[in-house]
Chain A
Amino acid sequence: MLEVTDLRVNYGAIKALHGVTLRVNRGEIVTLIGCNGAGKSTTLRAISGIVRAAGGSITYEGRDLAGLKPHDIVRLGLVQAPEGRGIFSNMTVAENLELGAFIRSDRDGISADREKALTLFPRLRERLDQSAGTLSGGEQQMLAIARALLTRPKLLLLDEPSLGLAPQIVQIIFRIIREINEQGATILLVEQNAHMALKVAHRAYVLDVGRIVMEGKASDLAASEDVQDAYMGRKRAG
């Protein structure tokens, strides 16, 4: 469904990605794990067209995404819930959800999807008229995901959905990620929380300083000693 080949991205003189290759098949949850600064978010930003690739290619459903604007890419069903819970804090929760449906005009479909999203995240329903800036961190993350669902993604890119959240909330978010996947959306999940990400994903890639250093079935990677040492905190480097 998504094929990233030898993707390179530079920020000025700094090389952020030195040739990332990965693929996501329809129906999968694929996770991209790695440390802070490894280039995980940059990979997603390049896929969404926010940063321009310096080399390599990104193909989605057989179509080369080079040169497409972010809003064109969203219209193809490739939707990202951005990091830092990029919500519109100056607007209400309801308005944020409506912006998620910006590209759609099928009223009935939108209200059905809105209903579905609010059933997944009942807390948002209680806060529909509240300004999104007053939500807690976990609720903001829920809003970012719910909003992305209203765009009706075929492939959903999630950037660090567990960042800064309490463990119980993280559990809820990951349960919902699985539910979304079971309802038909393919997911590419970027995470620092390798432990949770490998539990929920089918396949995984490990990114280190702008390169893919490991890939395979999520369960294999979770069992691998290298991954456990480096990303799951089994042993502290001494």
Chain B
Amino acid sequence: MDQLLQTIKDGISMGSLYALIALGYTMVYGILKFINFAHSDVVVLGAWLSLVMADTTTRALGGAGAAGAPWWLGGAVLVTAMVACGLIGFTIERLAYKPLRGSPRLNVLITAIGVSLFLQNTGQLRAVFGTNPRSIPPLIHDATLLTVGQVNFKLLDLIGFGTAVALMIGLDYLVFHTKLGRAMRAVSHNRVTASLMGIPVDRVISFTFVTGAMLAAAGGFLWALKYETIKQPADSSWVLLGLKAFVAAVVGGIGNVRGAMLGGMAIGLLENFGSAYLSSSMKDVYVFALLIVVLLVRPGGILGKAVVEKV
């Protein structure tokens, strides 16, 4: 019983992280029809920026650790990391992708891989984040809120899950209930027709990138809170994280915002149930096995529509 509860808790907590990251992939795909391979590197940036900011501020406050940190510091770090990554997302789109607007998709894809390598390797510079793993100082005193059996529900669990859910609800509202969201969906459906409605297509695309990068930063921040050691920017575990979030987007139906949330949760739960009840060394296998099954049975994803390629 305890194991079941613990697995569900871990699965949902991991799943909400995957979902946050998957949203960035799916939004950019929805609007530009290409996979932004540099997206996982923005997650890394978000994690590292959070770490650096948390480290500098707690040091400046005189004490390492949560004791000296005001309660709002975590929120401030999160917001600053999101704004910074939003700006970086904007810059990446402007410099790397926008000039390729009319060119074949393959060119954009290769450029994205280039941007990804650039971010990874710049991040490793000693003047930037360096190549050693580091850990984020505790920003908040983590208290146990509730214990069921032997499963502890802690404050940080609640904050992590709550932040992810709040951001997803916010995004869902933005996409489905605002004028800007309607413009985003219009651009995603047909760029030319959208421009004939008077929608400034380039600005909507920029905005989409910024939003995706901000969610990635939040994902990085929550990741940093969750795992004590933050690996160096080019570490393969980051690539795997990005890859799994991408799988979440595809499983949910690429281009579909609600699908990405669902896919993220599905993958988080699957991974944790697999490692708890079958074998933990096969953790990654379950995720990619699910991808294969979904691609075979329902290639459009759970919430996606089968798209007939027009010739």
Task: Answer whether residue A80 sits at the interface, using C-beta atoms and an 8 A cutoff.
Answer: yes
* A80 in contact with B183 (CB, 8 Å): no
Tell me if A's interface is mostly helix, strand, loop or mixed: loop
Enumerate A48-71 residues with CB–CB distance to B below 8 Å.
48-50, 69-71
Task: Answer whether residue A161 sits at the interface, using C-beta atoms and an 8 A cutoff.
Answer: no
Q: Which one of B71-79, B185-193, B284-292 is at the interface?
A: B185-193
> How many cross-chain pairs have Cβ atoms below 8 Å apart between A and B?
66
* A88 in contact with B193 (CB, 8 Å): yes
* A48 in contact with B182 (CB, 8 Å): no
* B198 in contact with A82 (CB, 8 Å): no
CB A33 to nearest CB in B, in angstroms, measures: 22
Q: CA separation between A80 and B196, bound complex, in Å?
A: 6
* B195 in contact with A82 (CB, 8 Å): no
CB A65 to nearest CB in B, in angstroms, measures: 14
* A74 in contact with B183 (CB, 8 Å): no
CB A236 to nearest CB in B, in angstroms, measures: 31
CB A188 to nearest CB in B, in angstroms, measures: 14
Chain B residues with CB below 8 A from A89, complex form: 189
Chain B residues with CB below 8 A from A80, complex form: 196
Enumerate A154-191 residues with CB–CB distance to B below 8 Å.
none
Q: A88-B185, A91-B185 are in contact. Are A71 and B200 (CB under 8 A)?
A: yes
Q: CA separation between A74 and B197, bound complex, in Å?
A: 7
Enumerate A80-95 residues with CB–CB distance to B below 8 Å.
80, 82, 86-91, 95
* A90 in contact with B200 (CB, 8 Å): no
* B192 in contact with A71 (CB, 8 Å): no
Q: CA separation between A48 and B196, bound complex, in Å?
A: 8
Task: Answer whether residue A151 sits at the interface, using C-beta atoms and an 8 A cutoff.
Answer: yes
Chain B residues with CB below 8 A from A90, complex form: 185, 189
- Binary A-proximity of B174-185 (CB < 8 A = 1, otherwise 0): 000001001101
* B186 in contact with A86 (CB, 8 Å): no
Chain A residues with CB below 8 A from B202, complex form: 69
* B185 in contact with A100 (CB, 8 Å): no
Task: Answer whether residue B199 sits at the interface, using C-beta atoms and an 8 A cutoff.
Answer: yes
* A102 in contact with B196 (CB, 8 Å): no
Task: Answer whether residue B201 sits at the interface, using C-beta atoms and an 8 A cutoff.
Answer: yes
**Which residue of A71, A87, A98, A100 is within 8 Å of B195 (Cβ)?**
A71
Taking residues whose C-beta sits less than 8 angstroms from the other chain, chain A's interface range is 20 to 34
Q: A82-B193, A86-B193 are in contact. Are A99 and B182 (CB under 8 A)?
A: yes
**Which residue of A50, A71, A98 is within 8 Å of B198 (Cβ)?**
A71
Task: Answer whether residue A234 sits at the interface, using C-beta atoms and an 8 A cutoff.
Answer: no
Task: Answer whether residue A199 sits at the interface, using C-beta atoms and an 8 A cutoff.
Answer: no
Q: In chain B, what residue has the closest Cβ to A75? A: B198
Q: CA separation between A75 and B182, bound complex, in Å?
A: 18
Q: A69-B200, A71-B201, A98-B182 are in contact. Are A88 and B195 (CB under 8 A)?
A: no
Q: In chain B, what residue has the closest Cβ to A103? A: B198
**Which residue of B182, B186, B195 is within 8 Å of A69 (Cβ)?**
B195
Chain B residues with CB below 8 A from A88, complex form: 185-186, 189-190, 193
Task: Answer whether residue A204 sits at the interface, using C-beta atoms and an 8 A cutoff.
Answer: no
Q: CA separation between A98 and B177, bound complex, in Å?
A: 12
Chain A residues with CB below 8 A from B199, complex form: 71, 99, 102
CB A75 to nearest CB in B, in angstroms, measures: 6
Q: In chain A, what residue has the closest Cβ to B204? A: A71
CB B256 to nearest CB in A, in angstroms, measures: 10
Chain B residues with CB below 8 A from A95, complex form: 182
Q: CA separation between A45 and B188, bound complex, in Å?
A: 20
Q: CA separation between A28 and B192, bound complex, in Å?
A: 27
Enumerate B113-137 residues with CB–CB distance to A below 8 Å.
none
Task: Answer whether residue A227 sits at the interface, using C-beta atoms and an 8 A cutoff.
Answer: no
**B positions within 8 Å CB-CB of A:** 179, 182-183, 185-186, 189-190, 192-202
**A positions within 8 Å CB-CB of B:** 48-50, 69-71, 74-75, 79-80, 82, 86-91, 95, 98-100, 102-103, 147, 151
Q: List 6 A-B contacts (CB under 8 A).
A: A50-B192, A74-B197, A91-B182, A91-B185, A102-B182, A103-B198
